[in-house]
A and B are shown apart, each in its own frame.
Chain A
Amino acid sequence: MNPGIDLQESFIETLIDLGLPVGAAKAIWMPLPMTVIIIGATLGVLVSVWLERKISAAVQQRIGPEYAGPLGVLQAVADGLKLVFKEDIVPAKADPWLFTIGPVIVVLPAFLSYLIVPFGQNLLISNVGIGIFLWIALSSVAPIGLLMAGYASNNKYSLLGGLRAAAQSISYEIPLALAVLAIVMMSNSLSTIDIVEQQSGYGILGWNVWRQPIGLVLFWICALAECERLPFDLPEAEEELVAGYQTEYSGMRFGLFYVASYVNLVLSSVLAAVLYFGGWDFPIPLDLVSSWLGVSETNPTFQVVTASLGITATLLKAYFFVFVAILLRWTLPRVRIDQLLDLGWKFLLPVGLVNLLLTAGLKLAFPFAFGG
């Protein structure tokens, strides 16, 4: 496996050649990937909002947005602008501080989790050792923000929605962690880079989806529940709770919840792609391609092409999962709260444990195929 391009090294070397000290060069580099990723995440939100509208319309045999830009691609921007310019109301009996902090606490962990999303061998912000565990830990912070928003709104629907959101998030975190644990057991590492490395080399045949089909289903159900997507959008079930914890919100504070939910959706999809569909790995092994073409793997042009193919592959896989989520939204009815908790604790948790046990047994029996 060739290391691929390393932007950080080359950037810092260029700056040092320009006569800057090493520390300053590193300090200049540090904010760059973060900015790029934050902008990328926001763009991802806009794209998935547009996709959501278009695919929903197609499912319901409508046309969907079509006037804002070609095919309505600017509709998401228009939505966002509308939210920014709307009056930002704090209800009279609400608790203004908690009411403001709540959405911020929901948004921050979602963006922070992009720290570990890899788009290539060296194309991620930081290859922290705890990798995927960081995402699981950070996703458990958001319910505090939801509870805060629900409590501060001083509205019984909001409070019930917040409590439901927290209960749902806690219940589905455990099977989610179990599904991830089975993957981690196979790749012997929590780092997302190592997880993708372990799947690469055999093209599409090496991806974890063949080794962990139960795990993929488990992961995806739990990820949908964590993102509060239909069929698990109980915290904002409009027939029962008006809009759950968002009931009293308007303007940009509401927009933050909106952004957070879509960032979470895209993030879960990217991580599903990384964990089960080989991340940036191309369906055909790239060293085969390079030998067919007769180019060396260290050829700079080939490396640039590889890196961009990797980013494209990751995004395509991720948006496949986004598409599945949107399609599920319009095909499945919402479950009841007791069905939701029953499903989580009485079905998914045992299945997750059995899957973990099965993976451990297979790993002992076939160490070459299941990561020795």
Chain B
Amino acid sequence: MNLAEGVQIVSFGLLSLMVLGAALGVVLLQNIVYSAFLLGGVLISIAGLYLLLNADFVAAAQVLIYVGAVNILILFAVMLVNKQEDFASLPRSWVRQGATALVCTGLFALLSTMILQTSWLGLNSGAAPETSTTILIGEHLFSDFLLPFELASVLLLMALIGAVVLARREFLPEEIVSSERQPVLTLPERPRQPMVVSSGTSSTPGSTSE
């Protein structure tokens, strides 16, 4: 074993300890803010594991997307909706949790025996890639994975439009139709209760709700 291999083994051990410890923290801690911060720890350590796998571009993308966007989004959600709600404690919650823990341990045991039993057919080569992974990813995205890539972009666009629609829910959908009828000094917000969409019998805006 030379220096590089030793460093790899040690850093794999440290990173996996960090991943597992932080993931357990995410799941088990009572304070949800701690959980959210520990999730950031899990994501960063997984980026480190990607580096160990020679996937530098994916590691940086993991930091950018998961830590910089997803985790911050979750933190925003936790901190902006900071309503301390205490759940009513269930009578025998430990039974449920114990059962779940048992099932999950069983799942882990099953998976790990499967992993150890399979002989992975001489796949353990572990050679470093010839070209840089960035170029590889680019080539594949624009040749044989073009359709999934474009579909993913359409999906993202749909999510974006959906987010905009959800965020602007307060405003009238038929602003243009009703704008000339509105009295001058009212806000263009519709009433909170759901509106009837039937268009034929509508009178002044605001009175259409039932």
The chain A residues found within 8 Å of chain B, CB to CB, are 23, 26-27, 98, 128-130, 133-134, 136-138, 140-141, 143-144, 147-148, 151, 159, 163, 166-167, 170, 173, 190
A59-B64 Cα distance, complex, nearest whole Å: 38
Q: Cβ of B71: which chain A residues have Cβ within 8 Å of it?
A: 144
Per-residue CB proximity of B18-31 to A under 8 Å, as 1/0? 00000000000000
Which chain B residue lies CB-closest to A148? B37
Distance to closest chain A CB from B123 (angstroms): 25
Q: Cβ of B2: which chain A residues have Cβ within 8 Å of it?
A: 23
In the complex, the answer to whether A130 meets B63 with C-beta atoms within 8 Å is no
Q: Is B72 an interface residue (CB 8 A)?
A: yes
A250-B61 Cα distance, complex, nearest whole Å: 35
In the complex, the answer to whether B63 meets A137 with C-beta atoms within 8 Å is yes
Q: Cβ of A148: which chain B residues have Cβ within 8 Å of it?
A: 37
- Whether A144 touches B37, Cβ cut-off 8 Å, given contacts A163-B80, A170-B72, is yes
Distance to closest chain B CB from A163 (angstroms): 6
A233-B21 Cα distance, complex, nearest whole Å: 37
Q: Cβ of B142: which chain A residues have Cβ within 8 Å of it?
A: none
Q: Is B178 an interface residue (CB 8 A)?
A: no
In the complex, the answer to whether A144 meets B79 with C-beta atoms within 8 Å is no
In the complex, the answer to whether B134 meets A190 with C-beta atoms within 8 Å is yes
Q: Cβ of B69: which chain A residues have Cβ within 8 Å of it?
A: 140, 170
Which one of B40, B44, B72, B134 has the greatest number of beta carbons of chain A within 10 Å? B72
In the complex, the answer to whether B3 meets A27 with C-beta atoms within 8 Å is yes
Q: Is B12 an interface residue (CB 8 A)?
A: no
18 contacts between A and B (CB under 8 A): A26-B3, A98-B37, A129-B132, A133-B57, A133-B64, A136-B64, A137-B60, A140-B63, A140-B68, A140-B72, A141-B63, A141-B67, A144-B71, A144-B75, A151-B79, A159-B79, A163-B80, A190-B134
Q: Cβ of A136: which chain B residues have Cβ within 8 Å of it?
A: 60, 64
Q: Is B46 an interface residue (CB 8 A)?
A: no
Distance to closest chain A CB from B65 (angstroms): 9
A-B contact count (CB 8 A): 65
In the complex, the answer to whether A144 meets B63 with C-beta atoms within 8 Å is no
A34-B63 Cα distance, complex, nearest whole Å: 22
Distance to closest chain B CB from A234 (angstroms): 16
Distance to closest chain A CB from B166 (angstroms): 17
In the complex, the answer to whether B68 meets A151 with C-beta atoms within 8 Å is no
Distance to closest chain B CB from A95 (angstroms): 8
- Contacts A137-B63, A140-B68 supplied; 8 other A-B pairs, CB < 8 Å: A129-B57, A129-B132, A137-B64, A141-B44, A141-B67, A143-B68, A147-B79, A163-B76
Q: Which residues in chain B, 50-91, are within 8 Å of chain A measured between CB atoms?
A: 56-57, 60-61, 63-64, 67-69, 71-72, 75-76, 79-80
Distance to closest chain B CB from A30 (angstroms): 10
Q: Cβ of A173: which chain B residues have Cβ within 8 Å of it?
A: 68
Which chain A residue lies CB-closest to B133? A129
Which chain A residue lies CB-closest to B131? A129
In the complex, the answer to whether A166 meets B64 with C-beta atoms within 8 Å is no
A141-B48 Cα distance, complex, nearest whole Å: 14
Distance to closest chain B CB from A74 (angstroms): 38
A147-B75 Cα distance, complex, nearest whole Å: 8
The contact of B67 among A134, A144, A159, by CB within 8 Å, is A144
Distance to closest chain B CB from A213 (angstroms): 27
In the complex, the answer to whether A143 meets B132 with C-beta atoms within 8 Å is no
Q: Cβ of A167: which chain B residues have Cβ within 8 Å of it?
A: 76
A130-B47 Cα distance, complex, nearest whole Å: 14
A173-B63 Cα distance, complex, nearest whole Å: 13
Q: Is B172 an interface residue (CB 8 A)?
A: no
Q: Cβ of B76: which chain A residues have Cβ within 8 Å of it?
A: 163, 166-167
